């Protein structure tokens, strides 16, 4: 087996710079782990490390070139994962994309250099150093503006195992096809002419990066569709809960009035005082099931009554001061989503508090200039909140399938031109939903 050597290969230092620059591009676009100065030092260290490794591996036999590049890819992963607040699988996925991008940058620049300057060689410094910087910078700027609008809003792609495996296999195939003629000249897939080696590498890398970018777009769309479906499911579930609560409360109220009539009938009978006392106790015991919330909005009346009964069962003090008529302009499903999700989150947290005396949920709905403010408060002892995209991170282990309650509230508020904000103050978790009055 004989390597094709008539055309000089890409200088290893250029490949190292391309790999470092591709990683740095994604690091710039996402949330860094460290401050700017520390990140610059880390970046310089990895640039030195990648360059040193590729220069040292140049002395290895040609058959070891691909394993050497695999180790370089591992260094790229460490660089990205160390620099970003990102899950390991997501970091590995962006490493694959950065590696193929670096291959494309290096091969495209070298092909242009060979075509325009290799035979002339009149200004070696400009041709060999300034020219690669210009080409690399142009490619990186284009990729930055193409991809910046595709970034996930919470800076997490949450790539699945299946999606990662697909990208990994695709990356291996792209790298293998683009470099097979450089390593081996007598395979069924090798080209025989020197310049064709450059053409094959460049075109394969460009096509490969396009394939991976398409895969990335599909992953982003899949993530968006999943989130929309989850939000719709949350909304629908809240509406179903509202309908069920309404029916249950109507039934309870009917039963309450029936029992009152029965009690009145029993009172008219000639019975001793003890029987009257028993009847008084019976009446008091069923009073808790009467729908006592009259906010001026039947939807809120139903939700509050249902949640109050649940709070009573779990020793949670529930208080509300609500002018429900202010929210008459809000659709029934949207109102169910906002108040149902907010109260569910608050009640679920209060249930976990060991001291039942501290279990408290408060709701306030009032006019605030040209807006209606819905404030949800519950006792909180979890310390500082970890925020992401304006909302607290879920404390549940399966983050891919939780946290949609607050997202649904925020999405619904924004639909009405409003906002939803969360903060913690003096051991109170506070959710404010501000909607413009109509």
Model confidence at 23: pLDDT above 90: yes
Cα 368 → chain centroid: 32
The confidence score (pLDDT) of residue 402 equals: 43
What's the token pair of residue 332?
A: 């029934």
The confidence score (pLDDT) of residue 282 equals: 63
CA distance linking residue 299 with residue 289, whole number of Å: 17
DSSP state of 63: G
CA distance linking residue 20 with residue 233, whole number of Å: 43
DSSP state of 290: S
Alpha carbon dihedral 257, 259, 261, 262, in 10-degree steps, equals 170
> CA 351, 353, 357 angle in degrees (round to 5)?
100
Cβ-count burial 4-33 (b if 16+ within 10 Å, e if not):
beebebbbbbbbbbbbbbbbbbbbebbeee
Do residues 20 and 50 touch, judged by C-beta distance below 8 A? yes
Q: pLDDT higher for 227 or 371?
A: 371
- Name the pLDDT band for 66 (thresholds 50, 70, 90): confident
DSSP codes, 325-389: GGGTTS-HHHHHHHHHHHHHHHHHHHHT-S-GGG-EEEEEEEEETTEEEEEEEEE--S-S--EET
**Residues 31-64: tens digit of each pLDDT:** 888 899 999 999 999 999 999 998 888 777 766 7
The confidence score (pLDDT) of residue 270 equals: 65
Q: Coil, helix or strand for 155?
A: coil
What's the token pair of residue 95?
A: 């490493």
The closest alpha carbon to 318, from 347, 289, 294, 345, belongs to 347
What global pTM score does this model have?
Answer: 0.59
DSSP codes, 238-286: HHHHHHHHHHHHHHHHHHHHHHHHHHHHHHTS---HHHHHHHHHHHHHH
Do residues 422 and 403 touch, judged by C-beta distance below 8 A? no
Q: Coil, helix or strand for 186?
A: coil
CA distance linking residue 42 with residue 374, whole number of Å: 46
**Residues 394-435: tens digit of each pLDDT:** 555 444 434 567 888 888 888 888 999 888 888 889 999 999
Q: pLDDT higher for 206 or 66?
A: 206
The closest alpha carbon to 306, from 250, 233, 378, belongs to 250
The confidence score (pLDDT) of residue 59 equals: 79
Cβ-count burial 193-225 (b if 16+ within 10 Å, e if not):
eeeebbebbbebbbebbebbbebbeebeeebee
CA distance linking residue 358 with residue 49, whole number of Å: 55
The closest alpha carbon to 336, from 311, 292, 303, belongs to 303
What's the token pair of residue 199?
A: 């053409």
CA distance linking residue 313 with residue 223, whole number of Å: 38
Helix axes 65-83, 161-183, angle to 10 degrees: 140
What's the token pair of residue 74?
A: 């591992």
CA distance linking residue 68 with residue 53, whole number of Å: 8
Instruction: List the helix and strand counts (H, then E) for the chain.
Output: 12, 7
- Name the pLDDT band for 286 (thresholds 50, 70, 90): low
How many Cβ atoms from other residues are within 10 Å of residue 182's Cβ? 22
- Name the pLDDT band for 235 (thresholds 50, 70, 90): low
Do residues 129 and 107 touch, judged by C-beta distance below 8 A? no
- Name the pLDDT band for 86 (thresholds 50, 70, 90): confident
The closest alpha carbon to 95, from 163, 22, 46, belongs to 22
């Amino acid at each position: 087996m004989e390597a094709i050597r008539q055309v000089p290969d890409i200088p290893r230092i250029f490949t190292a710079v391309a790999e470092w620059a591709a990683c740095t591009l994604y690091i710039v676009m996402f949330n860094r782990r460290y401050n700017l100065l520390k990140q610059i030092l880390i970046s310089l260290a990895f640039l030195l490390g990648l360059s040193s490794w590729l220069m040292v591996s140049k002395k290895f036999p040609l058959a070891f070139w691909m394993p050497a590049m695999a180790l370089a890819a591992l260094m790229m992963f460490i660089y990205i994962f160390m620099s970003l607040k990102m899950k390991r699988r997501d970091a590995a996925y962006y490493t694959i994309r950065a590696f193929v991008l670096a291959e494309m940058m290096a091969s495209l620049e070298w092909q242009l250099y060979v075509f325009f300057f290799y035979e002339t060689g009149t200004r070696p410094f400009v041709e060999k150093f300034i020219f690669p910087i210009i080409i690399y910078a142009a490619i990186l700027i284009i990729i930055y503006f193409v991809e910046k609008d595709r970034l996930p809003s919470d800076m997490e792609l949450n790539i699945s195992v299946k999606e990662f495996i697909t990208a990994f296999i695709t990356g291996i195939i792209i790298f293998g096809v683009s470099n097979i003629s450089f390593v081996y000249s007598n395979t069924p897939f090798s080209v025989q002419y020197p310049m064709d080696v450059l053409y094959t590498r460049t075109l394969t890398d460009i096509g490969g990066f396009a394939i991976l970018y398409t895969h990335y777009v599909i992953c982003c769309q899949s993530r968006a569709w999943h989130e929309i479906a989850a939000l719709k499911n949350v909304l629908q579930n809240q509406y179903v809960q509202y309908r069920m609560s309404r029916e249950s409360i109507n039934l309870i109220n009917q039963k309450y009035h029936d029992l009152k009539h029965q009690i009145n009938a029993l009172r008219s009978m000639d019975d001793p005082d003890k029987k009257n006392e028993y009847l008084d106790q019976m009446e008091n015991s069923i009073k808790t099931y009467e729908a006592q919330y009259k906010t001026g909005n039947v939807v809120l009346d139903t939700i509050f009554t249902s949640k109050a009964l649940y709070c009573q069962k779990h020793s949670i003090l529930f208080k509300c001061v609500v002018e429900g008529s202010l929210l008459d302009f809000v659709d029934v499903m949207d109102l169910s989503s906002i108040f149902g999700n907010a109260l569910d989150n608050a009640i679920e947290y209060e249930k976990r508090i060991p001291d039942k005396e501290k279990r408290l949920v408060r709701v306030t709905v009032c006019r605030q200039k040209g807006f209606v403010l819905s404030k949800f408060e519950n006792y909180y002892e979890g310390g500082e909140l970890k925020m992401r995209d304006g909302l607290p991170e879920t404390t549940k282990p399966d983050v891919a399938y939780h946290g949609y309650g607050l997202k649904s509230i925020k999405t619904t508020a924004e639909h009405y031109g409003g906002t939803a904000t969360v903060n913690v103050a003096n051991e109170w978790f506070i959710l404010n939903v501000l909607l413009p009055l109509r």
